[in-house]
Amino acid sequence: MSDLETQLQALQAEATAAIAAVTDLDALEQERIAVLGKKGKLSQILRGMGKLSAEERPRIGALANEIKEDIQARLEQTKIKLETAAIAAQLAQETLDVTMPGVSRPIGRVHPLNSIIDRVIEIFTGLGYSVAEGYEMESDYYNFEALNTPPDHPARDMQDTFYLPDGNLLRTHTSSVQIRHMENHEPPLRIIAPGRVYRRDTVDATHSAVFHQIEILAIDKNLTFTDLKGTLKEFVRQMFGEELPMLFRASYFPFTEPSAEVDVQWEGRWLEVLGCGMVDPNVLKAVGYDPEEYTGFAAGLGVERFAMVLHHIDDIRRLYASDLRFLSQF
């Protein structure tokens, strides 16, 4: 046996033992480089091939290839084994015990005001209305003048307004949305305008300086007060879940004529729930509609009012206190 043959067999035995002792992939890669790399032990042994006779070279070359293939096979087998073990360890580490109790977190609830707004929108969109939105900061023109309320009109005393230093104001109703919408759309139209409104009011159990309104507006040819009554009757039926006695009381709003307050008999007593009326011809003229051709009706309701009635809430301030003990009931 030649010296190269002895070295090759010794390398094979040494590499086999070293590979068997490896415990991680990094050490396995270092062993591969040390044995089979360009500057590895096998390359160093094969440098002596030049000293062999022509008869010995094929035999030693074949032996070297055989030993190289054996070492490569052992490296590959060990690599697969270590990778499988690593995956198994990772899975074991990440495994969840599904029998353990989970971490409980409170489920979010819809705020009672949002639930009323969502319900009203659902009812009126089902009747063919679309939702319109506008600005909470408004000009005097859109909040009052275009709604048939000139500067000296006594109706302004009905709504104590927050005026801003720049001459604008915080809207006192969402009727201003109707004016802006009519300016940019031709009739026929049917819209509802939900939103936050502001009035200088003393806060108590039934009043707030910031509250929410929803305005309803329909403009078309030949609309009458009967259409308004039928629409509101259907709205009340869906909102309260049953047919309720309704009473239309004559009232006054500068932007509707005739005007009415609507009462419903709920749980044995009469409750005022909204205001309504036929759109005043002056309002139609202000937006460029011909009152001889088109008529319309409008209605407005307070969201807080409906929330307090339907949920038997005794104090409007509970709706704004963010008390989880109160809100978790809904």
User: What's the pLDDT score for residue 158?
Assistant: 63
Spell out where the chain has E strands.
130-131, 137-138, 169-170, 189-198, 210-220, 246-253, 256-266, 269-279, 295-302
User: What's the pLDDT score for residue 177?
Assistant: 96
Q: What is the pLDDT of residues 57-98, one digit of tens each?
A: 788 788 888 888 888 898 899 999 989 988 888 888 888 777
CA distance 124 to 131: 9
User: What's the pLDDT score for residue 152?
Assistant: 81
User: What's the pLDDT score for residue 308?
Assistant: 93
Which superfamily does CATH assign the domain made up of 112-327 to?
Bira Bifunctional Protein; Domain 2 (3.30.930.10)
| Residue spans per domain, the chain | 3-94, 112-327
pTM above 0.75, yes or no: no
User: What's the pLDDT score for residue 64?
Assistant: 81
Q: Using alpha carbons only, give the angle 284, 289, 291 rounded to the nearest 5 degrees.
A: 65
User: What's the pLDDT score for residue 89?
Assistant: 86
User: What's the pLDDT score for residue 97?
Assistant: 77
Residue that the structure tokens 């307090």 belong to: 308
CA distance 180 to 267: 39
CA distance 241 to 238: 5
Which residues of the chain are modeled with pLDDT < 50? none
User: What's the pLDDT score for residue 51?
Assistant: 75
First to last CA, the chain: 93
CA distance 314 to 87: 62
Name the helix (H) or strand (E) containing 17: helix 3-21
Q: What is the pLDDT of residues 5-25, one digit of tens each?
A: 888 888 888 888 888 888 888
